[in-house]
Amino acid sequence: MDIKQIGVIGAGQMGNGIAHVLAVAGYDVLLNDINQEALDRAVALVNKNLDRQVQREKLSAEDKAAAMARISTTKTLSDLGTCDLIIEAATERETVKEAIFQDLLPHLKPTTILTSNTSSISITRLASRTDRPEKFMGFHFMNPVPVMQLVELIRGIATDAETYQACLAVVEKIGKTAASAEDFPAFIVNRILMPMINEAVYTLYEGVGNVKSIDESMKLGANHPMGPLELADFIGLDTCLAIMNVLHDGLADTKYRPCPLLTKYVEAGWLGRKTGRGFYDYRGETPVPTR
The residue annotated as part of the active site, out of 119, 120, 122, 198, is 119
Determine the pLDDT at residue 1: 74
pLDDT at 120 over 90: no
pLDDT at 261 over 80: yes
- Per-residue pLDDT at 53: 95
152 given a catalytic annotation: yes
**How many percent of the chain have pLDDT more than 70?**
100
Residue 260 host element (H or E): helix 260-268
Look at strands 71-74 and 85-88 and give their pairing.
unpaired
4 is in an annotated binding site: no
Amino acid (one-letter) located at 63: D
Active site residue 180: no
pLDDT tens digit sequence for 2-19: 899 999 999 998 999 999
140 is an active site residue: yes
Could you check whether the bond before residue 144 is cis, i.e. omega within 30 degrees of 0?
yes
Please check if 11 is assigned to a binding site: yes
pLDDT digits (tens, 9 = 90+) for 79-95: 999 999 999 999 888 99
Ordered domains of the chain (ranges, CATH): 5-182 (3.40.50.720), 191-289 (1.10.1040.10)
User: Which residues lie below 8 Å from residue 137, measured CB to CB, with a gap of 6+?
Assistant: 113, 115, 123, 127, 153, 154, 155, 156, 159, 163, 164, 167
pTM above 0.85, yes or no: yes
Q: Catalytic one among 16, 88, 120, 140?
A: 140
Residue 259 has pLDDT above 80, yes or no: yes
Q: How far apart are CA 13 and CA 255, in angstroms?
A: 30
pLDDT at 91: 87
Question: Residue 216 pLDDT > 90, yes or no?
Answer: yes
Alpha-carbon separation of residue 275 from 101, 197, 213, 233, 269 (angstroms): 29, 19, 23, 9, 7
Contact 193, 160 (CB under 8 A): no
What is the percent of the chain where pLDDT is above 90? Answer: 97
Q: What is the mean pLDDT of the chain?
A: 96
- Is 119 an annotated catalytic residue? yes
The torsion angles phi and psi of 179, rounded to 5 degrees, stand at -115, 120
pLDDT computed for residue 92 by the predictor: 85
Q: What pLDDT band is residue 118 in, cutting at 50, 70 and 90?
A: very high
Using DSSP's 3-state secondary structure scheme, residue 21 falls into: helix
* 209 labelled binding-site residue: no
User: Does 180 belong to an annotated binding site?
Assistant: no
The continuous run of DSSP H or E covering 190 comes out as: helix 189-205
